[in-house]
Amino acid sequence: MSLLLKYQSLLDRLRERSRFRRLEKRVGHDFSSNDYLGLSQSKELTQAAIDALNKGVGVGAGGSRLLRGNDLEHEALEREAAEFFGAERTLFMGGGFNANMAIFSTLPQKGDLIVYDALIHASAHEGMRLSKADSLAFEHNNAKAADEVIAAWQKAGGEGRIWLTFESVYSMDGDIAHMADLIAVADKYDGFVVIDEAHATGVFGKQGRGFAHAFHGKENIITLHTCGKALGASGAIIGGASVLIDVLVNKARGFIYATAPSPLNAAIVRASLKLLQAHPVANKTRQEKLADLVAHANAECERLLLPVGNFTPSGTQILPIIIGDDKKTMQIAANMRERGFDVRGIRPPTVPRGTSRLRITLTLNNEFETVTAMFEALKEELSA
């Protein structure tokens, strides 16, 4: 009996359910990446990388930050990011997934309660799985429901600290959190708030500082800003009170035992933050140009897709087109790629069962005319 038979059977079952994943090449116009500001291949960040290399910045760190891997570029980025995002201190890590795992597996303590939005990212779930704290979900984007979950937990004898967590912009639905209401719930219980700004960083808030910046200065708020989306590089920045950052440095296994992020990448992220703060060369900033593109795309979605289905514009740079059936979703996505538009399908378990969708993202890699052409092609596919 083959040692691999069990795993082949697992893959066969995924194929039967139209849930088998494979790596696909980049094709056509970008409607699937998170490169919202078009920075990942921009001449500005390319030049920043060249300048850093010419200055002697290292490609690799050579070890964990606590050994010999700590670099001046890491420290400079953390100082500049703290000032930009309005945090007492920040910590640079290799990616958003690892950063979320570090937060939730380290900061909430035994006896505490993590109260999380039902649609929170998989990385938060992985961190909660490793945590010694209790964890309970609340109905998506519903502050009242969060309050009720906490009250019921306390009534049943829960006495620990509350950690309320949500995304400011949801990666699969594109909707925006009711942040003020949720923070008010955490404040009511003298709890902490963990805000995942991954899809807001660079896009929303003053100069792309995200939605949480409006609440900067509150010691109970921890933020996560990823660097691989609108910032055009890679890595993640955790922001919060200095004492919490020190706890992560001392206790977070994903930080202690991981090779430090590339110093070169830290230099590129520094350049990206400077770009967000730069005055526009021609009338508008990248953030303003993206806002115009988002408004155009949402209007085109309403004009072209509403007649063929119940497709509600999200109002953000993430537009979910709910199809429902897994196989149909992936077929339409494949057809769109053949037409020259790189649209990808998203299936369970990434999204709830029965909500398979096309996740269309808007980036400055496309012009208004290309966006309209994509929606016209999509209307034909949905009408077929």
Burial (0-12, 13-18, 19+ Cβ within 10 Å), 159: exposed
Report, in this order, helix, strand and coil percent for the chain, each rounded to 5.
45, 15, 40
Instruction: Give the C-alpha separation, 31 to 217, whole Å.
Output: 36
- The tokens for 272 are 């990206």
Query: Catalytic residue numbers?
Result: 34, 121, 167, 171, 196, 199, 229
CB 236 within 8 A of CB 95: yes
Sign of CA dihedral 30, 34, 40, 44: positive
Parallel, antiparallel, or unpaired: how do β-strands 341-342 and 29-30 relate?
A: parallel
Beta bridge partners of 221: 193
Sign of CA dihedral 84, 87, 89, 92: negative
CB 81 within 8 A of CB 225: yes
Beta strands in 123-202 (DSSP E): 134-138, 162-167, 192-196
Quickly list DSSP for 232-276. SS--EEEEE-HHHHHHHHHH-HHHHTSBPPPHHHHHHHHHHHHHH
Quickly list DSSP for 288-328. HHHHHHHHHHHHHHHHHHGGGS-----SSSEEEEEEE-HHH
328: alpha, beta or left, given left = phi > 0 and alpha = psi -120 to 50? alpha
Maximum Cα–Cα distance across the chain: 68
Neighbours of 12 (CB within 10 A): 11
Angle at 342 between CA 334 and CA 31, to 5 degrees: 135
Instruction: Give the C-alpha separation, 68 to 360, whole Å.
Output: 42
